[in-house]
Structure 1
Amino acid sequence: MATFRAVVAVGLLMGVYVLVLGLAVGDAVLVFEVLLTETTDAADTSSPFGALITVPVVGALFWGLAAVSRPTFTDVGSIPLTPEQAPLLWHTTRQLADAVGTSAPTEIHLVAEVNAGVTEEAWLLGLVGGRRRLYLGLPLILGLTHDELRAVIAHELGHYAGRHTRLLAITHRSRESLHEIVRRLELTARVASYTVLFVWVVRKFFVGYAKCFDLLTLAMGRRQEFDADAVAARVAVSAEAGSPASAGDPDTTPIDGRGVVVDALRTQAALTYSWNRLIAAYVAPGHEHGIAPERPFDLFADMLDDVAYRATVDRLRMSPPEPPRTPRDTHPPLARRIAALGAPSGHGRGPARPAVALLGDWDILARGLRCEGEIEPPLATARLLPNDEWRQRITALLAGDAADRLRAVAAQYSGVPNPGIGTILDLLGRGHGARMAAALAAEGTPAPGRPAPDPHELTAHLAALVNEALVAARRARWVPSWTRPDLVETIGPMPPYLDLVRAAPHDPEEATRLRNVLASVGVDLDAGPAPGRHRGAAGHDADERVDAVGEAGIDFVPRWRRLLLPRRTREERRANTVFNALILGTMIMGSVAVALYVVVFEPDHYNKRPIPTYQPLRPGDERLPGLGTPGRSTHDPGLTFPTGPQPTPIFPPLPTLVPRN
């Protein structure tokens, strides 16, 4: 079945280019035939521009193929690891390659992802192998043990052993070509509106073709993941690690490679969640305020080493989060992969060596690794802060953002812009807690990757507001935490207030007691947010932000103008220029081709005598209708009529028409 799917996938792969080439040839023949008819048939009064509506569509097809014709796997955002930089990692990889029965990768690259992968620059549709690259994510290595990293590397080498990578690059490129073709067709319909009907027909066909291609190739890829897991389970654990630790301990059992692979899969899922949480809940909000950590990978390592957050990681390992499934998933569900291995977890058999030890001085490597995507500041004006200072700033900013959301809700019921904590506690004392909680819950769902909303949303926002007020009164200081973003440490003697914060949203009397406690420790109950809090935390002036937005190409256009005269994007303007050039070039090339055809195959075309045709009487013409030929005259520039009487030929009657007696 796998071989049949591979053959069908290759056939569909080649069919992409055959289809586009066939449409291009058919369009060229159509345009040539229309132009030839216009040139050789004087009676044809149709316009040749009807055939030209297909030119932008064919151009979009070739554009979609050319856009992904470059190599799919690039080394942008990665750094190569030489054997001199990471000798232990290279030794482990070569050892596993020998155990798997395949050649070791030619290069090893470090990337800024919680992932691992392999590529191969194969030739002749995968018949001839080429340069092999192994990609390992630094955030992944920071959270794995030595045995788990061996399982990950063995899994990737299993793809080499099964020759899964031979067709990987060209299959992936063809899949992207199909989806890029569909996108370019949609762009064509927006730019060249006269092609909408033809684009709709062609797009429907390619969408169906792409779905068939995805079903075959992605199903084949998911099947290959199970095969690679089986290879990893066979060789992940070395003979020394799998043997009993000591002969005097009869209870010591060898480590099962399948359990190590299960541990690696579970840990990778937990690390993926943690990395996404670091970016979405901490780094991305910092970017909004113009700050970023200098060493984000050290930050992730500190997050994993935190004792409180370690419990979260262990919980995620026991119940790995499953992302929503889509038909285009390249990997099977994690639960199916774990069930296919059929082994319990191998965790808990003594102290485990960290996998990062195989990298040597990984801190130097991390500094040279470019951070792609959301972890890299979007604006060049963002300040890079030392990790400790960044954590202090981001803790204050996150608590301030939560407090501002609560102030915005309270302003709707109090009518006071930027109300202080005293006004908010007065609202709670009058029983508005349920309405304020509902307003906070209606703000929307959090961004993907951010932690789930607190079941007591109002309580969390009130705690952030109270802590911010205590810090402003110099009765507390922020304590960075990976589990509680608004944690503070009180300064000096402080009456118990945490229980009051928890009860205030639901009990008006407790809200009044909390107000009195805060007033007794010197908190300004009427103070709003500190002026320039966001600007000061980010270290930016408002003018710098406006300049940065202007440099990003954002302009302020009236709404009526955007609706009546929509401004085209850069891609749409480029497509319009390309399509106009294609139509003009097609007209020129078609005219030249028709002229050459007439000269070569019909040399007497322009010397032919015109055939007389009957010309009816035209309005305002004093002459009688008759036979005429194309010519020049003052009265009728297009016709010349005979001037004298024309004899009418008389033919004898046909014998069959003679009356018979």
Structure 2
Amino acid sequence: MGATLRALRALVLLCGFYLLSLVLLAALATLDVAAFTWAPGAVAGKIVIVSLLLAMPVVRGMFMLRTPRGEGPAGLPVTEADEPRLWALVRELAAATGTRAPDTIVLTGDVNAAVSEEPRLLGLRPGPRRLYLGVPLLTGLTEAQLKSVLAHEYGHFTGGDTRLSALVVRGRVQIGRTVGHFHAKADGREAAERARQEKAAAKRTAKGKKAKEIDTAGAGVTYRMMAAIYTAYAKLYMRATLSTARAQEYAADLAAARIAGRDATASALREIPILATAHDFYLESYATLGVQARRLPPRGQFFGGFGRMLTAREAELARMREMLPTEPRSPYDSHPPIANRVLRIEELPADGRGEEADGPALAVLADPARTLAALEDAVLTDEVRQFEHAPEWEQLLDLSMAAGLASLDTPLHRALAFHTEARPSLPALLTVIDDGQLWQLAQRLPLSGQTATVEGRAFRELVRPVLRDSLQSMVLAEFSARSLLNWEFSWSRPAAVRLPGSASDLDGEAGTEAALDAAVDAALADHPDTAPLRALLPPAPQPA
């Protein structure tokens, strides 16, 4: 199916949204006329009010329909003067693919490359083009793999896919908005009904009567019925517009293999999902490590540290490359499973081209360090940009862990706050234990069904693991408050902590230090003894 026919099909589906809306409005109007004709006045008035409330999201959906513009990912636009080598590579590959080069290149913070076009005449005429290129993608790919990725994206240009995207997205976005309006109305009705019933139940309880069970099953049902109608059409719309999307991806893969080579294309397809997973882990475990302490990594390292982690964890990544996804992410995913795409490329005849340009793709940037720093300013939120940069990753870890331990809030902390008037802390807990109230305190912990029904030794055995975890955390917090913990930063494994005077790691995997382990066991024994634990604690600092 050519680009023009696909555009016409998308236009017909979009008109179907209008037609569905008009049919629903006509049905509501018919209901109103019937109500005024045959129903009593009061009933007719209620029916009209309900129909008007249902009609509002439908009308809003019809008149808010427009092509979303300027909604691409946040990024750093770069000119040819900024990045001459990148622009030369982009133009070279565009010419080899037989298409027009993009008018704008935007560097982003995602593991992704994408092209967009702002077409005219409902996608029938081309318009300005934009290339979005993720710097983390450049960090993890070779230059040969990058060429394959860019050639794949240009394959969408030659197939006319980008001209259709605005029209298709227009329908998807608006159907989604309409469904969202109905669900929001239904949720509001359900919340209001729940609040009404809870208030009535509270009044009955105050009068000594048995409260009725809360039941909101019927609240907002008409809104949910309308949402269900549009959801059904949305599924039809998605399936129809995605029917050729996967074929387009296969065709773009073939274009990439023709331009950049079979091996580079297959290896790039293998690498991208691995990089996406690794980058998610990097953001959570490294880049945002200091958020609680309102600290950022060293300048330029919010994205720059990703390459260091990839190098340190190469063995893990190699194992992940052998486990490619064999199923699409969802029934409506426009991309076929990666395993299928790789298999199709690897089945092509050898073309004699290995990954000749096997240097890092990041080298196509004129000054990677400068670009990584500028990217932070372009994509991080205003609030996050106000955070102070740590001078080194090691200091960032120290600050982060200290902030986390200072704000520690375990189940044991919360139970201790209810049990005693003292501030929840390790000294307060040790006092409770010395007073023989440990197991009474344990009764205030969130307990599972089984734990809540047993007593005596069985209760102590079931609750002891929760107490152990919280107590060890409280010990670390106490050492941290006195600046006695030494955290060890690593790109290849979780951070480790060394206790004062110890050469043994305490990170949950290397095992706890024997003395602390024994001291915690003694404090949580059937007959608790806090003396070993108190002996491990350094003297509290004396006020000046």
**TM-score with structure 2 setting the length:** 0.69
* Corresponding residue of 2:285: 281
Deviations 1:227-260 (A, max 9, x none): 1111111102xxxxxxxxxxxxxxxxxxxx2221
Quick one: distance in 1 between partners of 2:508 and 2:94? Answer: 62
Task: Give the residue type in structure 2 aligned to 1:390.
Answer: L
Matched, 1:359 2:365: yes
Superposition deviation, residue 298 in structure 1: 2.1
* Corresponding residue of 1:334: 338
**Unpaired segments ≥5 residues, structure 2:** 191-217, 450-464, 523-530
Matched, 1:148 2:145: yes
Residues 1:335 and 1:421: Cα distance change in structure 2 (over 3 Å): farther
Superposition deviation, residue 484 in structure 1: 3.6
Residues 1:304 and 1:499: Cα distance change in structure 2 (over 3 Å): closer
Quick one: distance in 2 between partners of 1:458 and 1:351? Answer: 57
Larger Rg: 1
8 A contact 1:115–1:136 mirrored in 2: yes
* Corresponding residue of 2:249: 225
* Corresponding residue of 1:418: 425
Quick one: distance in 2 between partners of 1:311 and 1:14? Answer: 52
Quick one: distance in 2 between partners of 1:72 and 1:204? Answer: 28
Question: What value does the CA root-mean-square deviation take over the aligned residues?
Answer: 5.2
Superposition deviation, residue 304 in structure 1: 2.1
8 A contact 2:75–2:378 mirrored in 1: no
Deviations 1:383-424 (A, max 9, x none): 5544544343225446778x8659659979x99953379969
Superposition deviation, residue 205 in structure 1: 2.1
Residues 1:421 and 1:118: Cα distance change in structure 2 (over 3 Å): farther
> How does 1:261-340 map onto structure 2 within 5 Å?
261-284=265-288, 286-293=290-297, 295=299, 298-306=301-309, 307-319=311-323, 325-340=329-344
Deviations 1:21-75 (A, max 9, x none): 45556767887x799x99xxxx999956744543333321232344452524535
Deviations 1:349-382 (A, max 9, x none): 7893121221212333344436788x64767875
Residues 1:342 and 1:460: Cα distance change in structure 2 (over 3 Å): farther
Matched, 1:19 2:26: no
Task: Give the residue type in structure 2 aligned to 1:327.
Answer: P
Residue 181 of structure 1: SS of its match in structure 2? helix
Matched, 1:71 2:71: no
Residues 1:469 and 1:196: Cα distance change in structure 2 (over 3 Å): closer
Pick from 81, 84, 108 the counterpart of residue 111 of structure 1: 108
Quick one: distance in 2 between partners of 1:341 and 1:225? Answer: 12
Residue 109 of structure 1: SS of its match in structure 2? strand
More displaced, 111-120 or 68-77?
68-77
Quick one: distance in 2 between partners of 1:376 and 1:524? Answer: 42
Residues 1:462 and 1:319: Cα distance change in structure 2 (over 3 Å): farther
* Corresponding residue of 1:477: 486
More displaced, 459-468 or 94-103?
459-468
Residue 369 of structure 1: SS of its match in structure 2? helix
Residues 1:192 and 1:321: Cα distance change in structure 2 (over 3 Å): closer
Superposition deviation, residue 336 in structure 1: 1.6
Superposition deviation, residue 199 in structure 1: 3.8
Quick one: distance in 1 between partners of 2:158 and 2:357? Answer: 32
Pick from 518, 524, 532 the counterpart of residue 537 of structure 2: 524
> How does 1:177-196 map onto structure 2 within 5 Å?
177-189=174-186
Residues 1:104 and 1:474: Cα distance change in structure 2 (over 3 Å): closer
> How does 1:572-583 map onto structure 2 within 5 Å?
none
> How does 1:438-457 map onto structure 2 within 5 Å?
none
Quick one: distance in 2 between partners of 1:178 and 1:79? Answer: 31
Quick one: distance in 2 between partners of 1:475 and 1:339? Answer: 55
Residues 1:197 and 1:261: Cα distance change in structure 2 (over 3 Å): same
8 A contact 1:478–1:489 mirrored in 2: yes
Quick one: distance in 2 between partners of 1:292 and 1:311? Answer: 28
Matched, 1:205 2:229: yes
Quick one: distance in 2 between partners of 1:110 and 1:198? Answer: 46
Quick one: distance in 2 between partners of 1:191 and 1:406? Answer: 33
Deviations 1:527-585 (A, max 9, x none): 7xx9xxxxxxxxxxxxxxxxxxxxxxxxxxxxxxxxxxxxxxxxxxxxxxxxxxxxxxx
Task: Give the residue type in structure 1 aligned to 2:180.
Answer: R
Residue 53 of structure 2: SS of its match in structure 1? helix
8 A contact 2:266–2:342 mirrored in 1: yes
Task: Give the residue type in structure 1 aligned to 2:305.
Answer: D
Quick one: distance in 1 between partners of 2:337 and 2:240? Answer: 17
8 A contact 2:155–2:251 mirrored in 1: yes
Task: Give the residue type in structure 1 aligned to 2:496.
Answer: L
Superposition deviation, residue 502 in structure 1: 5.1
8 A contact 1:112–1:371 mirrored in 2: no
Task: Give the residue type in structure 1 aligned to 2:304.
Answer: A
Quick one: distance in 1 between partners of 2:400 and 2:76? Answer: 29
Quick one: distance in 1 between partners of 2:269 and 2:292? Answer: 33
Deviations 1:449-489 (A, max 9, x none): xxxxxxx9999999977777766677663232234443247
Quick one: distance in 2 between partners of 1:304 and 1:99? Answer: 30
Residue 161 of structure 2: SS of its match in structure 1? coil
Quick one: distance in 2 between partners of 1:261 and 1:339? Answer: 11
Quick one: distance in 2 between partners of 1:96 and 1:396? Answer: 50
Matched, 1:511 2:508: no
Residues 1:399 and 1:473: Cα distance change in structure 2 (over 3 Å): closer
Residues 1:220 and 1:79: Cα distance change in structure 2 (over 3 Å): same
Task: Give the residue type in structure 1 aligned to 2:19.
Answer: V
Superposition deviation, residue 171 in structure 1: 0.3
8 A contact 1:175–1:214 mirrored in 2: yes
Superposition deviation, residue 150 in structure 1: 0.9
Superposition deviation, residue 116 in structure 1: 1.1
Pick from 97, 100, 104 the counterpart of residue 100 of structure 1: 97
Residue 136 of structure 1: SS of its match in structure 2? strand
8 A contact 1:102–1:161 mirrored in 2: yes
Residue 119 of structure 1: SS of its match in structure 2? strand
Residue 113 of structure 1: SS of its match in structure 2? coil
Determine what percentage of the aligned residue pairs are the same residue: 29
> How does 1:54-93 map onto structure 2 within 5 Å?
54-67=51-64, 69-75=66-72, 77-93=74-90
Deviations 1:178-207 (A, max 9, x none): 111111123344568999565444333211
**TM-score with structure 1 setting the length:** 0.58
Residue 106 of structure 2: SS of its match in structure 1? strand
Task: Give the residue type in structure 2 aligned to 1:479.
Answer: E
Superposition deviation, residue 267 in structure 1: 2.4
> How does 1:24-43 map onto structure 2 within 5 Å?
24=25
Pick from 130, 134, 138 the counterpart of residue 135 of structure 2: 138
> How does 1:561-580 map onto structure 2 within 5 Å?
none
More displaced, 415-424 or 3-12?
415-424
Residues 1:55 and 1:195: Cα distance change in structure 2 (over 3 Å): farther
Residues 1:396 and 1:189: Cα distance change in structure 2 (over 3 Å): closer
Quick one: distance in 1 between partners of 2:385 and 2:46? Answer: 49
Residues 1:463 and 1:169: Cα distance change in structure 2 (over 3 Å): farther
